[in-house]
């Protein structure tokens, strides 16, 4: 298995720190608003990476943090009159529901910033003791970037590029120095610490959580893989790496993995451009698996241009998988068998998650499977092998998991579904009573509604043809 390392800018063989185990940490959401497509792209990237690692037999500990204390959250609290806890609880729940809808597996651990204050103040203490941090007169604590000879080695930037994004503070030793602790004297959203009451800096959060939950004692690296969006490489990940290196004397991660940006009709997603596309809105119009299939369809490191024309074309591609699954519907569940296809699929995904080749293999499988089923429609062994291949797609890529008939029901409102179910029940009763005239009339009515039905030994299933 190879992974592209953002620091060395090349694909590297993946060698875990501990045999058979992988530690994977990904920067999670700041919960002051709903998730947008950029959040979805990043979450899907690392969900796929986790699935591929697990398919290779690794035991993966996957940690994704939640930033539930931040200036943006406090600002929203002031603007809306709602408490910080009310806001964060609301958006945490929404985020989890959105992730579930697109098939993202729940993390092994999901620590919150507000629950990790002791770990953060402990790391600040280590940095002050080792002369890598200093306290200014108002109680703020800053990281001294000049004290770290390897600062900027992660992003490979020059000092002249390292311009502070926040307001200037006269007591900072260097313009690039960043806050580890922000003193707070007149707000309720603050915490006690050895440095006075205040709030942690954002960059500190992830370093402290990794040390608390994942770091391996005595190892050169704290974790195997650290991931996030490309926009986090600098300053966030650069600052994380510096904090960990200086506080603990080990490096933060052996591999750094970053996903590209989302563009909407050619423009970089940004609220300032007014084109931030919330995931919850997309899920109202499209099945979660359709969005998953589409957002995974280009390589994770490249920027993704989201437009509905491409989305609809992508959906037709996924529809073909579900139509194959319909032909295999009703086969008893059996453990996944190793087939030529499953071996090939894992091989291409092991090449830095090469989804283009993976999707091409799936297209080839669907075409050859349909030809084979046309010739040998009742061959049980062939059908079981094909079902194993489909189930492997479900396991590793996370789509194709839905009942194929329910998949094609998406988009119909509850009232329409209830009407169709009622007609099917009446048709079943008519057939039992051998009232075939009524049964045929109901089928014609369903056809007029754009509904196809299929009678199986497990009951009657239906789908929308639209």
pLDDT, tens only, 339-370 = 999 999 999 999 999 999 999 999 999 999 99
Tell me the DSSP string of 256-283.
EEEE--EEETTEE--GGGT---BHHHHH
pLDDT digits (tens, 9 = 90+) for 255-291: 999 999 998 877 776 665 566 689 999 999 899 999 9
**Could you tell me the sign of the dihedral formed by the alpha carbons of 354, 294, 461, 327, in that order?**
negative
Helices 355-375 and 340-349 pack at an angle, to 10 degrees, of 170
pLDDT of residue 452: 84
CB atoms within 10 A of CB 465: 9
Higher model confidence: residue 347 or residue 459?
347
Residue 161 pLDDT exceeds 60? no
Residue 378 pLDDT exceeds 90? no
Higher model confidence: residue 396 or residue 168?
396
User: Which residue intervals of 200-307 are DSSP H helices?
Assistant: 202-213, 238-248, 279-285, 288-295
pLDDT of residue 31: 97
Tokens standing for 86? 């009310």
Residue 44 pLDDT exceeds 80? yes
Higher model confidence: residue 126 or residue 185?
126
Q: Torsions phi, psi of 253, nearest 5?
A: -145, 145
**What is the rounded average pLDDT for all residues in the chain?**
92
Give the range among 82-91, 207-216, 221-230, 321-330 with minimum mean pLDDT.
321-330
Residue 386 pLDDT exceeds 70? yes
pLDDT of residue 406: 85
Domains of the chain: residue spans and CATH? 14-132+148-153+201-263 (3.40.50.620), 320-404 (1.20.120), 412-464 (no CATH)
Q: Indicate the Cα dihedral angle 25, 31, 35, 38, nearest 10°.
A: -50
Residue 463 pLDDT exceeds 90? no
Q: SS3 for 332?
A: coil
Q: What percentage of the chain reaches a pLDDT higher than 90?
A: 80
pLDDT of residue 272: 57
pLDDT digits (tens, 9 = 90+) for 396-439: 999 999 989 888 888 888 888 889 989 999 999 999 999 999 99
pLDDT of residue 275: 64
pLDDT of residue 409: 85
User: Which residue intervals of 56-188 are DSSP H helices?
Assistant: 71-80, 84-101, 117-129
Residue 4 pLDDT exceeds 80? yes
Residue 160 pLDDT exceeds 60? no
pLDDT of residue 358: 98
pLDDT digits (tens, 9 = 90+) for 68-127: 999 999 999 999 999 999 999 999 999 999 999 999 999 999 999 999 999 999 999 999
pTM above 0.85, yes or no: yes
pLDDT digits (tens, 9 = 90+) for 190-199: 999 999 999 9
Give the model's confidence band at 163: pLDDT under 50 very low, under 70 low, under 90 confident, else very high: low
- Rounded distance, CA 197 to CA 183, Å? 6
pLDDT of residue 34: 96
pLDDT of residue 460: 84
Q: What is the mean pLDDT of residues 320-339?
A: 87
Name the strand (E) or helix (H) holding 407. helix 404-407
Q: What is the mean pLDDT of residues 203-215?
A: 97
- Rounded distance, CA 205 to CA 22, Å? 21
Q: Torsions phi, psi of 460, nearest 5?
A: -100, 130
């Amino acid at each position: 298995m190879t992974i592209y390392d953002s620091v060395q800018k090349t694909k590297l063989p993946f060698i875990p720190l501990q045999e058979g185990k992988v530690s994977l940490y990904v920067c999670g959401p700041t919960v002051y608003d709903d998730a947008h497509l950029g959040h979805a792209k990043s979450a899907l990237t690392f969900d796929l990476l986790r699935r591929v690692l697990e398919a290779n037999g690794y035991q993966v500990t996957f940690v994704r943090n939640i930033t539930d204390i931040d200036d943006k959250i406090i600002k929203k609290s002031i603007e809306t009159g709602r408490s910080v806890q009310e806001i964060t609880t609301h958006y945490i729940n929404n985020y989890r529901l959105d992730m579930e809808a697109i098939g993202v597996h729940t993390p092994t651990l999901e620590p919150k910033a507000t629950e990790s204050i002791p770990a953060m103040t402990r790391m600040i203490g280590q940095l002050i003791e080792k002369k890598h941090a200093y306290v200014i007169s108002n109680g703020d604590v800053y990281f001294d970037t000049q004290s770290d000879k390897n600062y900027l080695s992660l992003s490979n930037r020059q000092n002249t590029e390292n311009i502070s994004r926040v307001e200037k503070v006269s007591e900072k030793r260097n313009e690039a120095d960043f806050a580890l602790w922000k003193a707070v004297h007149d707000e309720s959203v603050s915490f006690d610490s050895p440095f006075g009451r205040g709030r942690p800096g954002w960059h500190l959060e992830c370093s402290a959580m990794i040390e608390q939950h994942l770091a391996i004692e005595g190892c050169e690296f704290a974790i195997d893989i650290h991931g996030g969006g490309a926009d986090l490489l600098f300053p966030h990940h650069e600052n994380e790496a510096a904090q960990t290196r200086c506080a603990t004397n080990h490096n933060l991660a052996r591999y750094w993995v970053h996903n590209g940006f989302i563009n909407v009709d050619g423009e970089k997603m940004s609220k300032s451009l007014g084109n931030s596309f919330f995931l919850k809105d997309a899920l109202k119009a499209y099945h979660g698996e359709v969005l998953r299939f589409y957002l995974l369809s280009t390589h994770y490191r490249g920027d993704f241009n989201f437009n509905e024309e491409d989305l609809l074309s992508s959906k037709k591609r996924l529809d073909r998988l579900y139509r194959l699954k319909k032909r295999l519907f009703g086969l008893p569940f059996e453990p996944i068998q190793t087939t030529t296809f499953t071996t090939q699929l894992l091989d291409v995904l092991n090449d830095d998650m090469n989804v283009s080749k993976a999707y091409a293999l799936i297209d080839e499988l669907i075409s050859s499977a349909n030809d084979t089923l046309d010739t040998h429609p009742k061959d049980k062994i062939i059908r079981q092998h094909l079902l194993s291949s489909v189930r492997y797609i479900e396991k590793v890529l996370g789509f194709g998991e839905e009942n194929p008939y329910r998949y094609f029901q998406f988009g119909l409102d509850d009232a329409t579904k209830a009407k169709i179910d009622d007609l099917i029940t009446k048709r079943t009763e008519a057939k039992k009573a051998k009232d075939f005239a009524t049964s045929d009339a109901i089928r014609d009515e369903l056809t007029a509604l754009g509904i196809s039905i299929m009678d199986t030994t497990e009951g009657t299933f239906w789908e929308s043809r639209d």
